[in-house]
Amino acid sequence: MLNCSKTDKKSDSIDSQIIENNQINGDKYKQLYDSIYIRLALQKSLKHEALTLFVKDIGIIKDLKLYSEISKIALDSYKYDDANTIARQWAKIDADSSYPFELGFRASLELKDFKKAEYYLKKYLDIEQPKNKRDYSKLLFSLLGNKNRLNVMNFLDSYIKKKNNRELIISYIELLYSYNKPIEVIKHINNIGSLNERNLIRLYANSHVLINQLEPAKKTLLKFLENKALPDRQVQLELLQIYLGLGDIKLAENLITKMINNTSGDVSLIYDVARILYENNNYDLSEKYLSSLVVNSDRIIFLRGMLDLKSENYNEAIAHFDRISDYNYKIIAIFNKASALSETSGNEYAINYLDSMQDKFDSYNDRLRFLLQKISLLRQEKRFKEIVEICTNHLINEKYDIEVLYSRAMAYESSGNISKMEVDLKEILKIDKENTNTLNALGYSLTIHTNRYNEAYNLILQAYHNDPGNAAILDSMAWIYYQKGNYEKALLFSEIAYKKDKDPEIIEHFCEILKKNKMHEELKKVINFALDNYPNKKELIKKLKILKNEIRI
């Protein structure tokens, strides 16, 4: 009737109101429907469907908990444009919260949209009003979840130059340390000065240790300890590791005696000392301090087992591992018992033992750990065909298990089946396109097994963007540049990789690259280091001796 009236002006306004109310009710019910559907999808792990519907109808969704949950899915699935869309709408309905701006900041960095990243960062800081390092660290450590770490570093390097905020810079230094970028940590601390701050002193010293510059690390910690009225146990333990790295056992024992005398035989301290000695291959000295403990705990028993295992006292090691009941140590004790059994009774016996113990654990993750340990034992004996078989059987029911796919790929590579290796690695990248280890493994394998250098370079470059502090990736970057004939760029990456990790393959590559760059004095030092430290690596030693003779050094 209202629609039929042509004279009543009031009817038009009523008609408008009815239409408007119907639209409001429609949006209300649509929002309710979407929220229920999205939550059901999340419960059934249909994350892609939940994200798609959420973004499609984002204009009517007001549930803040959903914004939080779906934003994580967007980041985890690398849907950074969707994350930005969520951040924009979230900020509209919850303008006083910093969470949407943190989300937008992280997503913009992944997309390398630094202008937008700076906008989101400003909004975040306006709301949070950070007053100290802890406040800045809250944001910066959320960037540990960012995949493209190089984008993060490039943005923050530029940003902190403009702001010159010490608290922000210190938070960034801590992030760089977490990114395994010790050279950059040292550079930034040199720029701002440590001011004898404990945190910066430790980061500075430990960063030098990471690149095997032990003398500067030692001097830094000694100077800090000289100014301390009370002992600093953590710093003393770090100094102990440096003494052991330098091979100065006398100074190490003097420091240990001083620490123990100051704490009246603290059990935890003695255990830490014994553990550090063990980790630095000082087994007899580790045993000496561990034997002074009259109390027992699973961590102490486990360390005793590891010492016996390293000393080839296999039966004693097995007895120690059998005594462990704490879940946190139990599975790793079983694995090490298997290693001892492999030495006493053979690999097949050890594998059968693992199979028998696996049934005692119910969780999928625990059973997966057993499978991977079994693969490790088979790999030691180069039984690659068996690895492929057990991986294939597992993948029938668990086809998206990345670790098992990766293990099969490496078994294919070791047996010379590069095409099947490539298929498996590409399958992993379908599941997780930013899987850094896989990007690097595929890129490096293509470098050494094919001449598809451009494809290999793009894969390795992507891995490098994700983890620029990784020595293996740095070595891959060096080697692809070497194969492409860019020896200067190869040297840049190889030198950093060598500083961080003296792995035999990294050494071999570094030597070849030094040779191409005619850096014979440096080459001589590296070859002599390898000859002294890797006498049992026959293939490496043979290659380096040939190289040494070729250039007559």
Banded pLDDT at 27 (limits 50, 70, 90): low
Q: Taking Cα atoms as reference points, which of 397, 476, 490, 494 lies closest to residue 440?
A: 476
For the segment 446-488, what is each residue's pLDDT rounded down to a tens digit? 999 999 999 999 999 999 999 999 999 999 999 999 999 999 9
Banded pLDDT at 29 (limits 50, 70, 90): low
What are the residues whose beta carbons fall under 8 Å from the beta carbon of 26, sequence distance 6 or more?
Answer: none
pLDDT at residue 239, rounded to an integer: 98
For the segment 334-353, what is each residue's pLDDT rounded down to a tens digit? 999 999 999 999 999 999 99
Q: At what angle do helices 298-310 and 267-279 cross, to 10 degrees?
A: 30
How many Å apart are CA 117 and CA 102, to the nearest integer?
9
For the segment 273-317, what is each residue's pLDDT rounded down to a tens digit? 999 999 999 999 999 999 999 888 999 999 999 999 999 999 999
In angstroms, how far is CA 64 from the centroid of its own chain?
31
Q: Taking Cα atoms as reference points, which of 82, 147, 84, 80 lies closest to residue 120?
A: 84
Three-state DSSP string of 342-411: HHHHCHHHHHHHHHHHHCCCCCHHHHHHHHHHHHHHHHHCCCHHHHHHHHHHHHHHCCCCHHHHHHHHHH
Any idea where the domains of the chain sit in the sequence? 457-553
Phi/psi for 519 (5° steps) reads: -100, 75
Q: Does pLDDT of 23 surpass 60?
A: no
pLDDT at residue 26, rounded to an integer: 57
Banded pLDDT at 22 (limits 50, 70, 90): very low
Rounded to a whole number of angstroms, the distance between the first and last alpha carbons of the chain is 105
Q: At what angle do helices 471-483 and 504-516 cross, to 10 degrees?
A: 40
How many Å apart are CA 272 and CA 256, to the nearest integer?
11
Mean pLDDT calculated for residue range 79-96: 96
pLDDT at residue 19, rounded to an integer: 36
Radius of gyration of the chain (CA): 29
For the segment 121-164, what is each residue's pLDDT rounded down to a tens digit? 999 999 999 999 999 999 999 999 999 999 999 999 999 999 88
CATH label, 457-553, candidates 2.40.10.10, 3.40.800.10, 3.40.50.720, 1.25.40.10: 1.25.40.10
For the segment 227-273, what is each residue's pLDDT rounded down to a tens digit? 888 889 999 999 999 999 999 999 999 999 999 998 877 999 999 99
Percent above pLDDT 90 for the chain: 82
For the segment 435-449, what is each residue's pLDDT rounded down to a tens digit? 999 999 999 999 999
Q: Which two tokens stand for residue 176?
A: 């760089």
* Averaged pLDDT of the chain: 92
CB atoms near residue 448 (< 10 Å): 13
Kindly report each contact of residues 184-193 with a partner whose C-beta sits within 8 Å and lies 24 or more positions away, as own/partner.
184/153, 192/166
